[in-house]
Structure 1
Amino acid sequence: MKQLTKAEEEIMHVLWLLESANVKEVILQIPEPKPAYNTVSTIIRILETKGFVSHKQEGKFHYYFPILKKEEYSNSSLNKLVENYFEGSFNELVSFFIKKNDVKLSDIEALLKEIKK
Structure 2
Amino acid sequence: MQLSNSEEQLMQILWKQEKALMKDLIEAYPEPKPAITTVATLLKRMQDKKFVDYTQQGRSREYFPLVRKKDYFSKHVNGLIKNFFNDSSSQFASFFTKETNLSKTELEELRKIIDQEIKSK
Aligned to 1:69: 68
Aligned to 2:78: 79
Aligned to 1:17: 16
Instruction: Report the CA distance between 1:97 and its aligned residue.
Output: 1.5
> For the residues of structure 2 that align with 1:102 and 1:14, how far apart are their CA atoms?
29
Q: Where in structure 1 do 4 or more consecutive aligned residues deviate above 4 Å?
A: none
* Structure 2: gaps of 5 or more residues: 117-121
Matched to 1:94, the amino acid is A
Instruction: Report the CA distance between 1:109 and its aligned residue.
Output: 2.1
Instruction: Report the CA distance between 1:93 and its aligned residue.
Output: 1.1
Counterpart secondary structure, 2:20: coil
Higher mean alpha-carbon deviation, 82-91 vs 105-114, is at: 105-114
Give TM-score scaled by structure 2 length. 0.90
Aligned to 1:28: 27
> For the residues of structure 2 that align with 1:5 and 1:37, how far apart are their CA atoms?
18
> For the residues of structure 2 that align with 1:95 and 1:115, how far apart are their CA atoms?
14
Instruction: Give the share of equivalent positions with the same residue, in percent.
Output: 37
Aligned to 2:3: 4
Aligned residues: 116
State the Cα deviation string for residues 16-51 of structure 1 (Å, max 9, x = none).
Answer: 000011111101111111111100011001101110
Q: What is the CA RMSD across the aligned residues, in angstroms?
A: 1.2
* Structure 1: gaps of 5 or more residues: none
